[in-house]
Amino acid sequence: MSVDSLPYENDKEMFKHVVCVFVGKDRVYTERILKACGLRTLQGITNLIDMCLLTIEGKNQLQMHQLLQDKGRDVVRQESPDKPWKRSLLWCHEDSFNVLEQNKACKLMSVDSLPYENDKEMFKHVVCVFVGKDRVYTERILKACGLRTLQGITNLIDMCLLTIEGKNQLQMHQLLQDKGRDVVRQESPDKPWKRSLLWCHEDSFNVLEQNKVPILKERMEICELAQ
């Protein structure tokens, strides 16, 4: 099996994304996500169905035979067997953690890679303030900030950036949280008052000492609500 045997580049990318991430997902949801990534989703999924590589079952869910999915994932894995950060897609937690531990996340992870502005903001708020917080509580706070929280958290979970554990608490791997916070920190490494969010007391005190409180006011209110 070779992805290169698919006749169109769009179909190749659709196939790789489906086998790695979207098997079992709702068709409309998948089309919406991948369309935002620049793929022609309606035609792509139709072509994969016509080639018997994909079926639609149950409640409009994308499905394929397990052996076919395994073979498809192996195609992606062979893009770089020993260096997962060089692959076009990751789906295995072990490989993802390896990338984070090897400090290769800069090549893999960018808030800008999230397809929707709402998801980008949700991700930044969660990594900076809401890890370990109750999901309902978090949704209530961030909804008041104008974010579409229910869909945003669902999208982050589907992209394996977030999990719900224990008593409905938002959780993510510490390395992923650290990398996410670093993304925010790099918005303005030397001037924390110019960052979109603050979570570190030292940075907050620095802002206060620099008399940048008006810039920080809204961000501090969010963090205070989360305490």
pTM of the predicted structure, to 2 decimals: 0.56
**Pair 218, 141: CB distance under 8 Å:** no
Cα separation, 59 vs 62, whole angstroms: 9
Closest by Cα among 179, 169, 163 to 127: 179
- The helix/strand/coil state of 83 is coil
| Res. 46: pLDDT tops 50 | yes
- pLDDT 10s digits, 141-180: 999 989 999 888 988 887 778 888 889 999 988 878 888 8
pLDDT interval class at 103 (50, 70, 90): low
Distance (Å, rounded) from C-alpha 192 to C-alpha 144?
24
Summarised one tens digit per residue, pLDDT across range 74-84 is 999 898 888 88
Of 191 and 95, the structure prediction assigns the larger pLDDT to 191
Is the pLDDT reported for residue 115 higher than 90?
no
Predicted pLDDT of residue 15: 93
Residue 1 binned pLDDT confidence (cut-offs 50, 70, 90):
low
Which region among 52-66, 97-111, 115-129 has the lowest average model confidence (pLDDT)? 97-111
How high does pLDDT run on average in the chain?
Answer: 83
**Predicted local distance difference test score (pLDDT) of residue 107:** 45
Name the 3-class secondary structure at 61. Answer: strand
